[in-house]
């Protein structure tokens, strides 16, 4: 079958596609299914895998991880069979629990807003899974992420996906010069409608499949219920304090509040009040007027620079402070100890510690770090 | 890329042999009759059925009417456990069952259900580090109201043989029926129900180059058994349902063939298997044999590799064209440590590195060479991944 789009994958020198083994992380959904189909179409030796992630379990009931339900596993297995490729389930429950779920609970317990997808990509998908793939003799790991890898004389670069609505470079900002040479994202140069059309062209019955879930390990998607079940000790009522020092009421537990929040505070006040910040040391929610909200500055830690080295300082670029946020113009100053200082050109209302700040130069993702 | 698959999972299942398939073929479309029919096609089917029964009886050294054809080994185990337990109201209300902790799930789950839902007492005997039941433990577990003892002949996961004759003698001394799941043994051990001293025994056709979907329950004359599957009067009124004639013919042909090949295959496979048992612990650091080093099935090798999840090893072997398993019947990647290994005192992290290689008629010396080439570097690479 000929496809309307070219598949850009840099071959391992001296190896033909038939000699090049690509492990595809399959979800049963349309994106990773098209990834596998394109690679098979291009003549690569393709192996489908699916990670079995940790899921909530309680006595007498079993709850599925929403990224690897029995249904989606069967879908992935069926697609693999249709494409004539092997398919394996890889159990990562324990390391997922340790690196993603425990991190998620710890972050909320200390007043931060975690990003479990970034943690999963850093510790599971593009670390453990990649290592397994390479140990099994694969040359590449391919996923259905909307992002692009560019090989340049200076090294490997990470670019946004062509489809600006679907771009996932934000959650890939943890990649580096050790991982990128072994990765490919074969739908990164396509738009979602093009991917759907390709799925139809390939005869893949995945058109109606749901997207991957952000909080896949939370059975009902309700993180408050999850924290109550799994980290009840982290949820302690405490004072709501006005920035001027007055105690205005009681909050239900820090994890239930985010910076910039106005609704659900349960306060009767003539003033419109917003959550300004959370103080884990005193278990306090600090509120104040809209005028007090907004910062034009943040500090990031555990900063990853995709290129391997920090850019010359200071560096004008754009910054995303959440997966779905817009790009904000800023000046980034790399600091020692894997930190970075970010000075925005305009104040922002929703900078949340724990989320990832990701830096871009146009289409190119420079890297990112956790907001302190 | 490898073209020929090196199949080393014969304890899971085996291919139907050419002669077995040939023996079965006429019974699908040509001699298709219902064995209950009085006309020629029915008589032909009945004749094949009874010849098959005689063949199986001769291999097991028992009477024809002691052979019941079933759909699989699990059904045979179910039939015996339930069938004997359900005679309790007629046999002095004896309500105590004894099994071992290393039994196949067909025995364990059935016995647990009898205990949980039907008010039986269940004693589960422990095993030693090799997976063997201690005869003294059996002696001590027996009660006046013990109605059945079920202990497998050979374990599927670790290959260990039980001292069946010794265990069954204890049962006989106390007048208690003794059942054994012998599914792993045909072609590997001489089966003689009198020498073994068993009153019931389960076999499964596909474990010895016969077809899937057909099994045998040997039930000694005089052993009371309430049928678990009721309906017509098939199989001496003990298992209702139109007989799977082609499958039964296949099973009987396969059992006889396996028994005839046994004198040549056992030493051949044992020599190949012993190469694996001797070489792999040397080639792969921190490796030990699981199960008994000598008292084990002759085609069965199993290992515990430290510091590794066997899943990756199985994938890597598959990619190299070698079919193997971890030995437990996990159908998914969900990991609960094997109950057999746990009972043998293997901790959960060690149990995660369990590999079973079970050889068969297709296995050659070159296959063993390939395994010895492929496996050590694969384990070494995967061990570098810290989890």
Q: State how far residue A97 is from chain B, nearest Cα, in angstroms.
A: 12
Q: Looking at the annotation, which residues of B are catalytic?
A: 330
**Given a cut of 90, is residue B189 above it in pLDDT?**
yes
- Beta carbons of B312 and A137 less than 8 Å apart: no
pLDDT in tens, B214-231: 999 999 999 999 998 999
* Domain residue ranges in chain A: 17-201, 236-292, 295-371
What does the pLDDT read at residue B302?
98
Question: If we measure between CA atoms, which residue out of A288, A195, A177, A193 comes closest to residue A242?
Answer: A288
- The CATH number given to A295-371 is 2.40.30.10
Interface of B with A in 309-328 (CB under 8 A): 309, 311-312, 315-316, 318-319
Q: State how far residue B333 is from chain A, nearest Cα, in angstroms.
A: 6
Cβ–Cβ contact A47 with B under 8 A: yes
Lowest pLDDT segment from A257-261, A332-336, B56-60: A257-261
Mutate to test the interface with B, among A91, A95, A129 (most CBs of B within 10 A): A91
- Beta carbons of B335 and A88 less than 8 Å apart: no
Average pLDDT for B47-59: 98
Q: Which chain B residues contact residue A135 at CB under 8 A? A: 312, 316, 378, 381-382, 384-385
What does the pLDDT read at residue A234?
80
Q: For chain A, what is the largest distance between any 2 Cα atoms, rounded to a whole number of angstroms?
A: 73
Q: State how far residue A9 is from chain B, nearest Cα, in angstroms.
A: 22
CA-atom Rg of chain A in angstroms? 22
- B222 in Cβ contact with B82 (< 8 Å): no
**Given a cut of 60, is residue B387 above it in pLDDT?**
no
**Given a cut of 60, is residue B13 above it in pLDDT?**
yes
- Beta carbons of A93 and B335 less than 8 Å apart: yes
Cβ–Cβ contact B331 with A under 8 A: no
Q: How far is CA A230 from CA A93, A103, A106, A108, A113, in A?
A: 16, 13, 11, 12, 17
What does the pLDDT read at residue B21?
98
pTM listed for this prediction:
0.86
What does the pLDDT read at residue A4?
37
Looking at every residue in chain A, the average pLDDT score rounds to 89
What does the pLDDT read at residue B332?
41
Q: Which chain A residues contact residue B315 at CB under 8 A? A: 88, 90, 136
Average pLDDT for A205-214: 65
Beta bridge partners of B154: B161
- A183 in Cβ contact with A368 (< 8 Å): no
**Given a cut of 90, is residue A196 above it in pLDDT?**
yes
Q: How many residues does chain B have?
A: 387
A17-201: CATH homologous superfamily? HUPs (3.40.50.620)
Q: State how far residue B50 is from chain A, nearest Cα, in angstroms.
A: 42
What does the pLDDT read at residue A64?
73
A90 to chain B: closest CA residue: B333
Token pair in block for residue A14: 């001296």
- Beta carbons of A135 and B311 less than 8 Å apart: no
- Grouping H, G, I as helix, E, B as strand and the rest as coil, residue A50 is strand
What does the pLDDT read at residue A109?
86
Measured torsion, CA atoms of residues A274, A276, A282, A284, in degrees rounded to the nearest 10: 10
Interface of B with A in 292-311 (CB under 8 A): 309, 311
Cβ–Cβ contact A93 with B under 8 A: yes
Does residue A231 or residue B387 have the better pLDDT?
A231
Beta bridge partners of A339: A335
Based on DSSP, count helices (H) and strands (E) in chain B, helices before strands.
13, 12
pLDDT in tens, A267-325: 888 888 999 989 999 999 999 998 888 899 999 999 999 999 998 889 999 999 999 89
- B121 in Cβ contact with B255 (< 8 Å): no
- Grouping H, G, I as helix, E, B as strand and the rest as coil, residue B76 is helix
pLDDT in tens, B259-304: 999 999 999 999 999 999 999 999 999 999 999 999 999 999 999 9
What does the pLDDT read at residue B90?
82
| Residue B142: Cβ within 10 Å count | 18
Token pair in block for residue A317: 């670029």
Architecture of domain A236-292: Roll (2.30)
Residue A216 annotated to the active site: yes
Nearest to A86 among B318, B332, B385 (CB): B318
Token pair in block for residue B142: 């027996």
Distance CA(A222)–CA(A226), nearest Å, equals 6
- A354 in Cβ contact with A114 (< 8 Å): yes
- Beta carbons of A91 and B318 less than 8 Å apart: no
**A259-262 contacts, C-beta under 8 A, 24 or more apart:** A259/A293, A259/A349, A259/A350, A259/A351, A259/A352, A260/A293, A260/A349, A260/A350
pLDDT in tens, B297-331: 999 999 999 999 898 999 999 999 999 999 764 43
Spot the catalytic one: A67, A68, A117, A120: A120
- B313 in Cβ contact with B378 (< 8 Å): yes
What does the pLDDT read at residue B89?
83
Average pLDDT for B164-177: 97
Whether the ipTM is more than 0.90: the answer is no
Does residue B234 or residue A70 have the better pLDDT?
B234
Nearest to A88 among B315, B381, B387 (CB): B315
What does the pLDDT read at residue A62?
61
Cβ–Cβ contact A132 with B under 8 A: yes
pLDDT in tens, A20-60: 999 999 998 999 999 999 999 999 999 999 998 888 875 45
B177-190 per-residue burial string, b: 16 or more CB within 10 A, e: under 16 = bbbbbbbbbbbbbe
Architecture of domain B6-13+262-383: Alpha-Beta Complex (3.90)
What does the pLDDT read at residue B45?
96
Q: State how far residue A133 is from chain B, nearest Cα, in angstroms.
A: 9
- B284 in Cβ contact with B305 (< 8 Å): yes
- Out of A1-5, B129-133, B323-327, the most confident range is B129-133
- Beta carbons of B385 and A135 less than 8 Å apart: yes
- Helix segments in B86-163, DSSP class H: 105-118, 135-141
DSSP string, A181-203: GGEE-TTTTS-HHHHHHHHHHTT
Lowest pLDDT segment from A2-16, A102-116, A183-197, A318-332: A2-16
Q: How confident is the model at residue A7 (pLDDT cuts 50, 70, 90)?
A: low
Q: How confident is the model at residue A212 (pLDDT cuts 50, 70, 90)?
A: low
What does the pLDDT read at residue A12?
66
What percent of chain B is modeled with pLDDT above 70?
97
What does the pLDDT read at residue A9?
60
| Residue B22: Cβ within 10 Å count | 12
Question: Residues spanned by CATH 3.40.640.10 within chain B?
Answer: 18-257
CATH 3.30.460.80 given to domain B18-257: no
What percent of chain A is modeled with pLDDT above 70?
93
- Beta carbons of B332 and A89 less than 8 Å apart: yes
Cβ–Cβ contact B382 with A under 8 A: yes
Q: State how far residue A46 is from chain B, nearest Cα, in angstroms.
A: 11
Cβ–Cβ contact A69 with B under 8 A: no
Average pLDDT for A198-222: 79
Q: State how far residue B339 is from chain A, nearest Cα, in angstroms.
A: 19
Q: How confident is the model at residue B2 (pLDDT cuts 50, 70, 90)?
A: very low
What does the pLDDT read at residue A1?
37
Token pair in block for residue B135: 């005869």
- Beta carbons of A90 and B316 less than 8 Å apart: no
What percent of chain B is modeled with pLDDT above 90?
92
Q: Which chain B residues contact residue A47 at CB under 8 A? A: 319
pLDDT in tens, A145-192: 999 999 899 999 999 999 999 999 999 999 999 999 999 999 999 999
**Given a cut of 70, is residue A3 above it in pLDDT?**
no
Residue A224, H or E segment: helix A223-230
What does the pLDDT read at residue B297?
98
Mutate to test the interface with A, among B307, B309, B312, B324 (most CBs of A within 10 A): B312
What does the pLDDT read at residue A56?
81
Question: Residues spanned by CATH 3.90.1150.10 within chain B?
Answer: 6-13+262-383
Cβ–Cβ contact A90 with B under 8 A: yes
- Grouping H, G, I as helix, E, B as strand and the rest as coil, residue B272 is helix
What does the pLDDT read at residue A11?
59
- Beta carbons of A91 and B311 less than 8 Å apart: yes
Question: Strands B146-150, B178-181: parallel, antiparallel or unpaired by DSSP?
Answer: parallel
What does the pLDDT read at residue A294?
86
**A111-116 contacts, C-beta under 8 A, 24 or more apart:** A111/A254, A111/A278, A111/A279, A111/A280, A111/A353, A112/A352, A112/A353, A112/A354, A113/A258, A113/A352, A113/A353, A113/A354, A113/A355, A114/A354, A115/A171, A115/A323, A115/A354, A115/A355, A115/A356, A116/A214, A116/A215, A116/A217
């Amino acid at each position: 079958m000929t496809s309307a789009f070219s598949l850009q994958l840099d071959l391992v020198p001296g190896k033909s596609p038939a000699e090049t083994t690509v492990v595809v992380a399959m979800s049963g959904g349309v994106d990773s299914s098209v990834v596998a189909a394109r690679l098979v179409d291009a003549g690569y030796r393709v192996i489908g895998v699916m990670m079995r992630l940790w899921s909530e379990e309680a006595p007498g009931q079993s709850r599925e991880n929403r990224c690897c339900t029995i249904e989606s596993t069967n879908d992935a297995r069926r697609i693999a069979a249709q494409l004539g490729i092997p398919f394996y389930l890889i159990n990562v429950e324990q390391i997922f629990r340790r690196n993603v779920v425990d991190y998620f609970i710890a972050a909320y317990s200390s007043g931060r807003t975690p990003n479990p997808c970034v943690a999963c990509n850093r510790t599971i998908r593009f670390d453990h899974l990649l290592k397994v793939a390479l140990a099994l003799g694969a040359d590449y790991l391919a996923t259905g992420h909307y992002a692009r890898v560019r090989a340049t004389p200076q090294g490997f670069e990470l670019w946004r996906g062509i489809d600006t609505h679907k771009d996932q470079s934000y959650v890939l900002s943890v990649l580096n010069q050790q991982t990128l040479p072994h990765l490919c994202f074969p739908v990164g140069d396509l738009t979602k409608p093009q991917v759907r059309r390709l799925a139809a062209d390939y005869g893949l019955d995945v058109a109606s499949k749901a997207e991957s879930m952000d909080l896949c390990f939370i059975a009902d998607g309700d993180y408050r219920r999850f924290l109550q079940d799994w980290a009840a000790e982290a949820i302690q009522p405490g004072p709501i304090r006005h920035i001027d020092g007055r105690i205005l009421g009681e909050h239900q537990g820090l994890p239930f509040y985010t910076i910039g929040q106005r609704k659900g505070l349960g306060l009767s006040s003539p003033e419109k009040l917003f959550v300004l910040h959370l103080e884990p040391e005193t278990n306090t929610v600090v509120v104040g007027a809209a005028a007090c909200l907004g910062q034009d500055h943040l500090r990031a830690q555990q900063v990853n620079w995709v290129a391997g080295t920090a850019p010359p300082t200071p560096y004008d670029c754009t910054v995303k402070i959440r997966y779905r946020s817009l790009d904000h113009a800023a000046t980034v100053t790399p600091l020692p100890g894997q930190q970075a200082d970010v000075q925005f050109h305009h104040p922002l209302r929703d900078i949340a510690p724990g989320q990832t700040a990701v830096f871009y130069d146009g289409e190119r993702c420079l890297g990112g770090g956790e907001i302190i | 890329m490898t073209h020929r698959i090196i199949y080393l999972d014969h304890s899971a299942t085996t291919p139907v042999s050419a002669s077995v398939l040939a023996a079965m073929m006429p019974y699908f479309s040509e001699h298709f009759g219902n064995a209950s029919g009085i006309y020629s096609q029915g008589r032909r089917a009945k004749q094949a059925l009874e010849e098959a029964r005689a063949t199986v009886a001769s291999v097991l050294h028992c009477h024809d009417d002691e052979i019941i054809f079933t759909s699989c080994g699990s059904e045979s185990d179910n039939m015996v456990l339930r069938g004997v337990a359900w005679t309790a109201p007629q046999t002095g209300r004896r309500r105590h069952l004894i099994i071992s902790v290393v039994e196949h799930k067909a025995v364990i789950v059935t016995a647990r259900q009898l205990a949980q839902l039907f008010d039986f007492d269940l004693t589960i005997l422990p095993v030693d580090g090799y997976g063997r039941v201690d005869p003294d433990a059996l002696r001590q577990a027996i009660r006046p109201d013990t109605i059945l003892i079920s202990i497998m002949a050979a374990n599927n996961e670790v290959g260990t043989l039980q001292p069946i004759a010794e265990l069954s003698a204890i049962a006989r001394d106390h007048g208690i029926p003794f059942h054994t799941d012998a599914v792993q043994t045909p072609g590997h051990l001489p089966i003689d129900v009198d020498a073994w001293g068993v009153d019931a025994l389960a076999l499964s056709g596909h474990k010895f180059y016969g077809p899937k979907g057909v099994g045998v329950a040997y039930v000694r004359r005089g052993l009371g058994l309430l049928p678990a599957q009721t309906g017509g009067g098939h199989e001496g009124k003990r298992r209702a349902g139109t007989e799977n004639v082609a499958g039964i013919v296949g099973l009987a042909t396969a059992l006889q063939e396996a028994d005839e090949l046994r004198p040549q295959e056992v030493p051949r496979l044992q020599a190949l298997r012993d190469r694996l048992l001797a070489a792999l612990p040397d080639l792969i650091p921190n490796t030990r044999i699981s199960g008994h080093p000598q008292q084990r099935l002759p085609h069965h090798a199993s290992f515990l590799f430290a510091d590794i999840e066997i899943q990756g090893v199985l994938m890597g072997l598959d990619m190299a064209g070698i079919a193997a398993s971890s030995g437990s019947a996990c159908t998914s990647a969900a990991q609960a440590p094997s109950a057999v290994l746990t009972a043998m005192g293997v901790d959960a992290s060690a149990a995660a590195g369990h590999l079973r290689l079970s050889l068969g008629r297709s296995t050659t010396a070159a296959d063993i060479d390939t395994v010895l080439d492929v496996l050590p570097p694969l384990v070494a690479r995967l061990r570098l991944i810290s989890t």
